[in-house]
Chains A and B, each alone.
Chain A
Amino acid sequence: MEKAEIDFGIGLNAYEAVEEIVGKCVEAEKLGLDYVWIGDSPPHLYYSSVAAAVASRTKRIRIGLGLLSPLLHTPDQISGSIIPLIEAFGDRFEICLGVGDRSQLSRVGVDTKLPRVWDHVLKAKRKIAGSLSASGASTRIWLGAQGPKMLEVSKSFDGVLMNYASLGMIKWAIDKVKPDAQKDFDFGIYAPSYVYRKWHPQAYRLLCIASAVVALGALGAVLDEFGVGKRLQRAREEHEAGARIESVVKYVPSEVVKSFSIYTPSSELSGYLRELGDLGISHIVFGFPQNLSKVTIRDLANALPNR
């Protein structure tokens, strides 16, 4: 795998006030980050409206939308939300499709247990790309993938975003994708992150919670592949019995947190980035709680190479 040039982005939680989100995006642009990613989930604000507010106050930074679930939004609704953004603010938008957070989707009545769900997502991608192209617009469409089947399907997309951070897991996933050599394809990761200059216990606790959410939402096959399944059993049982994630997090071992998050002092980030680059990763999105404040965003930006 050829060493890739890496784009860096920050993931934003779309449940803060719109003004707050916009302020953080303006800061991220000033600090030289390449991307902001605006998440979408039933308990969050509406992604494309937040994106419009961000685009209206920034000039250069690219805006990723997602993960967008075709189980929640129809392909026409997704393409219909991107086209006006491109018309109003130019070609600065990319989207990431995927199944989405099953637990949140089921709370709003969405059936996430569709057979061949990967096929559903792939069909949605084709329809969205077709609608965009019919309106003279285009955008990069990523797939948020984790398990073997979704990873395999991802080669029909423009890139894959994985939500784990351990080098072993990433290498395993890259081997599963095998994109066409001729195709312009990107490997990216979008993981809970805490890159710190000065360690703060509250931020670390939030990182543990965010990593626990990802780990507990991961497919059993993926967890077993890396010998994590058994170690998560207690947490999984408690969570399935209805315990809130905040009280389950104590049963999630720190190695699991490490596998599913980017957790490092800022002085050691460049080494990890070099290894990711060697694996062929070209896009890194630093997720919650890196976006906790403008200070944590600044700590990240200052630790990145050539900013």
Chain B
Amino acid sequence: MNCIWIREALNTQRDIFTVTSIILLETSRIKVGIGITSPLVRNISTIARAAATLSQIGRGRFRLGLGVGGLESLVKLGLDAARPSALMRDAATLLRRIWRGETVTFTSDRFCLSNYYARYKAGFATPIYFGVRGPRLLALAGEVADGVILSGPKRYMKKVVAAVDQGLRRRRRRMKSFRFIVRVPTVIVDKKSDLYLAREAVATVLADTPEAVLEMADIARERVKPIKAMIAEKGVKRASRLVAEDLLDEVAIYGNPEQVALDLRSLEKYRIDEAIFGPPYGREPAEAIGKMVQAWKKLK
């Protein structure tokens, strides 16, 4: 495996930057990324210095995933996710200015820096990956980010490259310099009944998928509405029964370890540079990850 991505869950008692430091300290080769954190949750100067510290600790192995954040979590925290393009553009620009050692004065409704400068030296470059989905934000990623972390249906992946390319062209950037990373819910299925795990993961992903993304994937929103409603009413377990076979295939990768490894590799055809073997993994997650790693090694 080349990289570990740690996902920030706002309702846990573990600070993602501290956990990532410990992982970087315990490893020596593998890249470690945060995928993703939101510039709405911490002061932008805190994200800048945390990322710079991790890049120093990992000697360049750290990658920062930045996104607006899950709508539901933000609402719970009383945070406003309106105008995400301005938020993401400003966040990336400010982070880079701080890391370059500039004295920054900038005011918007989200950020307020006045004659601020870092006393530390960033030392190692920190690549910024946007965890975004809609066409406008994908184009913005092409303009200002080093890559994107995607999630969603496979038909959507096909259209992502074109959306990002618009932004790349606006800045005369080359596609080669940009990385496409995809996080896929993956399940090692030992017996057919394990498929419920994949269905639950797909129900969760679909319920959280913006309409623009469903449109890009040619999935009628009427097919997702009842799943969303059932999650709200009776929970994800019941909603998973509404996930049809074609939606399961569109969103998740599942099967025996060899099949899963082959399917992950097949994502190359969508111009994906890196696939994240994402949860729920299998009935016994640790065991499933072990099997998957073995299958991946054989395939390589």
- Determine chain A's interface SS by DSSP, over half rule: helix
Chain A positions 80-109 with a Cβ under 8 Å from a chain B Cβ? 80-81, 83-85, 88, 106-109
For chain A, the count of residues having a C-beta within 8 Å of the partner chain is 36
Q: How far is the CA of A15 from the CA of B49 in the complex (A)?
A: 10
Q: Is the pair B13, A79 in contact by a Cβ cutoff of 8 Å?
A: yes
Q: Is B296 an interface residue (CB 8 A)?
A: no
Q: Is the pair B18, A84 in contact by a Cβ cutoff of 8 Å?
A: yes
Q: How far is the CA of A101 from the CA of B120 in the complex (A)?
A: 17
Task: Answer whether A107 and B114 are a contact pair too, CB < 8 Å, given A18-B57, A77-B15, A77-B42.
Answer: yes
Please, which residues of chain B bring their CB within 8 A of the CB of A17?
56, 120-121, 123
Q: Give A91 Cβ to nearest chain B Cβ, in Å.
A: 16
Q: Is the pair B113, A108 in contact by a Cβ cutoff of 8 Å?
A: yes
One digit per residue, 1 when the CB lies within 8 angstroms of any chain A CB and 0 when it does not, for chain B 193-206 equals 00000000000000
Task: Answer whether A52 and B22 are a contact pair too, CB < 8 Å, given A84-B15, A107-B115.
Answer: yes
Q: Is A250 an interface residue (CB 8 A)?
A: no
Task: Answer whether A43 and B21 are a contact pair too, CB < 8 Å, given A17-B123, A108-B45.
Answer: no
Please, which residues of chain B bring their CB within 8 A of the CB of A300?
none
Please, which residues of chain A bring their CB within 8 A of the CB of B112?
108-109
Q: Give B9 Cβ to nearest chain A Cβ, in Å.
A: 10
Q: How far is the CA of A107 from the CA of B44 in the complex (A)?
A: 12
One digit per residue, 1 when the CB lies within 8 angstroms of any chain B CB and 0 when it does not, for chain A 68-81 equals 00001100110111
Binding site for A on B (CB under 8 A): 12-15, 17-22, 25, 42-46, 49-50, 52-54, 56-57, 111-121, 123
Binding site for B on A (CB under 8 A): 14-19, 42-46, 48-50, 52-53, 56, 72-73, 76-77, 79-81, 83-85, 88, 106-110, 131, 134-135
7 smallest CB-CB distances across A and B, nearest first, come from A109-B112, A15-B119, A80-B15, A49-B21, A46-B50, A81-B15, A49-B53
Known: A80-B15, A84-B19, A108-B43. 17 other contacts (CB 8 A): A42-B45, A43-B119, A46-B50, A49-B20, A49-B53, A49-B54, A72-B43, A73-B46, A77-B15, A81-B15, A84-B18, A85-B18, A85-B22, A88-B22, A107-B115, A109-B113, A109-B114
